[in-house]
């Protein structure tokens, strides 16, 4: 990796790993429940469900994502675990967020109810189990699983700044960068990958590039890419 790029990435990560840049970001929702959890007002399951659902809606303009997450949690009366376990969901074929309908939201809640009926946390679930068992998607070994990796970053990273650090049985050095079109474009422009496929192999390759800088915390590079986007108006 070019030394100038390396130093710039480090500077961006140090600057943008800061809550002030994420006040209009979907992470604010699991953060609310994490704060309540620490005060005894919410459960770990509340935080997990909030993180999972917020990550599921995290595509498109951030203002729209935040607006639709607020609508979703209003529907849940800001008690996600109780709502999921109650079993009565809004189930309409109209949009919750972009192409995601309330009926899809209801199906996800129903699957989570089944899972939380026999386990207290979803931390130990594999990507494939979450993809098929919660999101109801087909197994795809090449999929980058951006939403799942985003949720994992939120729940695992523990530097006390932006991410929540509530999953203590997962090592942050094993996290994979949440890869979407924007992250892919930024990574290719920085020379972090030359692959054309936006798949899990590419996500791991970019993560490995960041691991050269942060061997114990490669997803700190996610904040560096955020900084790249801010700097270049992306």
Residues 113 and 26 in one domain: yes
Residues 28 and 112 in one domain: yes
Residues 211 and 224 in one domain: yes
212 alpha carbon, distance to own chain's centre: 23
Query: Residue 137 falls within a domain, yes or no?
Result: no
Residues 84 and 154 in one domain: no
Residues 28 and 60 in one domain: yes
Tokens of 14: 């140090």
Residues 9 and 46 in one domain: no
Query: Residue 161 falls within a domain, yes or no?
Result: yes
For residue range 5-24, list pLDDT tens digits in order: 999 999 999 999 999 999 99
> Residue 182 has what pLDDT?
86
For residue range 208-227, list pLDDT tens digits in order: 999 999 999 999 999 999 88
Residues 4 and 36 in one domain: no
For residue range 82-132, list pLDDT tens digits in order: 999 999 999 999 999 999 999 999 999 999 999 999 999 999 999 999 999
pTM score: 0.95
Residues 8 and 28 in one domain: no
Q: Using pLDDT thresholds of 50, 70 and 90, give the confidence band for residue 234.
A: low
Query: Residue 132 falls within a domain, yes or no?
Result: no
Query: Residue 127 falls within a domain, yes or no?
Result: no
User: Is 223 exposed, middle or buried (CB count within 10 Å of its CB: 0-12, 13-18, 19+)?
Assistant: buried
Residues 234 and 228: their CA atoms lie apart, in Å, by 8
Residues 149 and 217 in one domain: yes
Contact at 8 Å (CB) between 46 and 81?
A: yes
Query: Residue 134 falls within a domain, yes or no?
Result: no
Q: In 3D, which of 93, 89, 46, 52 has the Cα closest to residue 69?
A: 52
What is the extent of the structural domain holding 98?
Answer: 22-122
Query: Residue 158 falls within a domain, yes or no?
Result: yes
DSSP state of 137: P
Query: Residue 27 falls within a domain, yes or no?
Result: yes
Domain closes at, from 122, 152, 176: 122
**Phi/psi of residue 9, each to 5°?**
-60, -40
Query: Residue 113 falls within a domain, yes or no?
Result: yes
Residues 111 and 196 in one domain: no
Residues 26 and 117 in one domain: yes
Residues 115 and 151 in one domain: no
């Amino acid at each position: 990796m070019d030394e100038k790029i390396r130093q710039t990435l480090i500077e961006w990560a140090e600057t943008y790993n800061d809550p002030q840049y994420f006040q209009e970001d979907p992470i604010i929702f699991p953060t609310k429940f994490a704060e309540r959890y620490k005060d005894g007002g919410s459960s770990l399951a509340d935080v997990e469900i909030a993180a999972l659902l917020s990550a599921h809606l995290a595509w498109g303009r951030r203002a729209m994502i935040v607006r639709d997450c607020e609508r979703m949690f209003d529907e849940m009366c800001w008690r996600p675990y109780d709502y999921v376990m109650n079993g009565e969901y809004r189930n309409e074929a109209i949009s919750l967020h972009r192409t995601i309908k309330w009926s899809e939201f209801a199906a996800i809640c129903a699957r989570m109810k089944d899972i939380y009926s026999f386990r207290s946390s979803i931390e130990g679930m594999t990507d494939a189990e979450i993809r098929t068992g919660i999101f109801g998607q087909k197994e795809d070994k090449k999929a980058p699983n951006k939403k799942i990796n985003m949720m994992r970053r939120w729940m695992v990273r523990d530097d006390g700044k932006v991410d929540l650090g509530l999953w203590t049985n997962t090592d942050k050095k094993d996290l994979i960068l949440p890869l979407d079109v924007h992250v892919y474009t930024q990574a290719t422009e920085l020379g972090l990958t030359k692959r054309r496929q936006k798949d899990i192999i590419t996500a791991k390759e970019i993560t490995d590039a960041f691991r050269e800088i942060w061997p114990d915390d490669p997803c700190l590079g996610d904040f560096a890419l955020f900084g790249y986007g801010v700097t270049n108006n992306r």
